[in-house]
Structure 1
Amino acid sequence: MTITLSRRDLLRASGLAAAGLVAVGGGSSLLSACGGGGGGGESGPIKVGVVTDVTGAIGYAGKANANIAKMVVDDLNSAGGLLGRQLELVVVDSASDPKVGVTKARELVEQHNVDVVLGGITSAMRDAIKSVIVDRGGKLYIYPQLYEGGECNRDIFCTGPTPNQQVVPFIPWLIENGGKKFYLPSADYVWPHTLNQVVREQVVKNGGTVVDEEYFPLDATDFGPSVNKIMSSGTNVVFTTVIPPGITPFLGQLYSAGFHQRGGRLACVYFDENLLNVAPPEHMEGLASCLDFFDAIDDPFSKDLAAKYQQQFPGGDARLAAGSAVTGMYRGLMMWAGAVKEAGSLDKDKVRTALSHAKLDQGPGGPAEMVEGENHVRMNMYIAVAKSGNYEIVEQLGAIDPEECLDGLK
């Protein structure tokens, strides 16, 4: 059994060799966390598929997703596995390209016949692979990343934050701690377009105005005209959804124009600890983010989990972080494992029913609970501000409902 990610690519992409990368012949590799080989069906290992961007523009996030999946599966196996069987983790690299993602997702469901699929980071990736997994593959799919909302298929479970958990509580704070004039420089794909509708609505609702809303190709490097508009318009808050690789030149050009020095506030709801090294710290000083986990959280379980992760996967380029979908991957795997135990079976209908009300008493950022009938998670949320290259939490928002799929699942 193989996956198409080469051994050399895996070794280069992350420290997975030290974490148990096993060669299985032919120059290919399998991330295996099971005690035995082969199988499926009623015997052999239970197969967990992860499709994520180990390479490409957001490879930092994909590496961290592969890492946390490996750590969780190892822990589950050390505790005896599920249903008396060990788990086998199969990771495929979607390479930050939705077209590649479709091919890799098909490999998971057709070649490896996995029992569940987790992964996808951008909404463009999720939209590309979900039909392959759910409609044609007949599998349950767990999407771990923060996103724009609206995913209401009964076989898809979303374990990252939604706009009601990020944007709705964040905008009033930004107006109070930044100002009323907002500018929305954005990447040109589904997440920013849909998210910005909520941003604009909340800005206006809270007494602010949106100066402009612009969209750029993912690989854009020249933001000069937009930066000029930001500076000349007296914009107070730059709420950006520009993503790598474009985010680095954008931050640099905004800083050089003097936005920070005049007291402007940067805001970005996906910006986590993995992004704090994409530009010099001064370019991100004061950047505010609203996420379900930050390193600075004073929660014993979260601290222990982050320390364990760092010990197994040392280095700073693929950290346990929320905006990189790592916390959602942890929640998704643990909730699915709990659902399998409750169901006493891998039967999809039984697992789906159990997963629809899954709970975690402890997790990154605190407890979490799947809201029945919504397939989204109630979780704790936090606002933090970047200071000298680290985040400081400025507000603990408590547990917030996702407020998704209120008209029901399809």
Structure 2
Amino acid sequence: MQDIADQLNVWHRAGRAFAVATVVSVSGSAPRDPGAALAVDGGGEAVGSVSGGCVEGAVYELCQEALSTGAASLHRFGFSDEDAFAVGLTCGGIIDIFVQPVVPGAEPGLDTGLAYVHSGTPVALVRAVDGTAVRLGATLAVTADAHHGSLGPAAAALERAAVLHARAMLDAGRSGLFTLASDGRPCAPDGDATVTATFFAESHVPAPRMIVFGAIDFAAAVARAGGFLGYHVTVCDARPVFATRRRFPTAEEVVVDWPHRYLEAEAEAGRLDGRTALCVLTHDAKFDIPLLERALRMPLGFVGAMGSRRTHHERLDRLREVGLSELELSRLRSPIGLDLGARTPEETAVAVAAEIVAHRRGGTCLPLSSHGGPIHHDHEARPRRIA
């Protein structure tokens, strides 16, 4: 619900009740990821989306029902349902949607969690979406060192386990479902335990970082593409005449520093993680080698470097000379970008962005029209059935 956090905060601060419908699980060709949300206030105003238009009408009505009854509920929409065509989800996917009424002041965990989401504070919003161990909609707001809200005095062990589980997901920046038995033990959703609770942990973390090294014309296009993909983009170059705000107006930061020195400083400050993408466009060994020597030994999400195939092979030889192993070298995506036949900086930026998305999501990089496989690779696992 991060994309509608501002509006939810306006309603919440005004004391207006509203209902939030959140995608908690997807399978197949579902159009939105877990965490996508649609909210409806008491006056009928709606913000957000859960399906890109497929089932918005049906979910809107469920939100109005939740506002009327005050009860949370879990629903499934999918191609296999007898009313699939009626609600419009004909893409072949399955989405599970949790609908929850929100009354400001009634749920401390939810109140605090919404405030954290609005302020940008990293938080996992944990809601009970199924099971018999706790009330549906019971909410915890879990940060790195604290949590707010309660599952009730009879569920202390369950609450401790849920907090630990959600904190691990927050640390990894992941959102998803997990199921616990009443004593806090992890269990399968359809396991032997008769008293369980299934939670949806929605991690809200700062945008992933993209660092573009090399203030060249291609870098400006890559920076724009990175911003479009939702990255917090930094452009870094040791040459002050090139690394200027005027040349990179869309980047959040433009830094004048030696690339390897800047990378080390960011790593020491804890501002890099497994989602960070590095695009090395300097095309100059005196910058590239010290930078890549360090980057390929860090647990970063993507490390790519620009250059011809000859440059790539020479770069690998130099990196071997400074001690990098073949396993470390295998992490380097070079020459950077998919083979689109790109020529211009803008076309090259599309190729680079496409490779980053494919690497992150597990795509094949083949045209969808050339195979009959899944469209969404990171949601292939079919979710459990919901009665």
Normalising by the smaller structure, the TM-score range is: under 0.3
TM-score of the two chains, using structure 1 as the length reference: 0.25
Whose RCO is larger (CA < 8 A, sep 6+)?
Answer: 1
Larger radius of gyration: 2
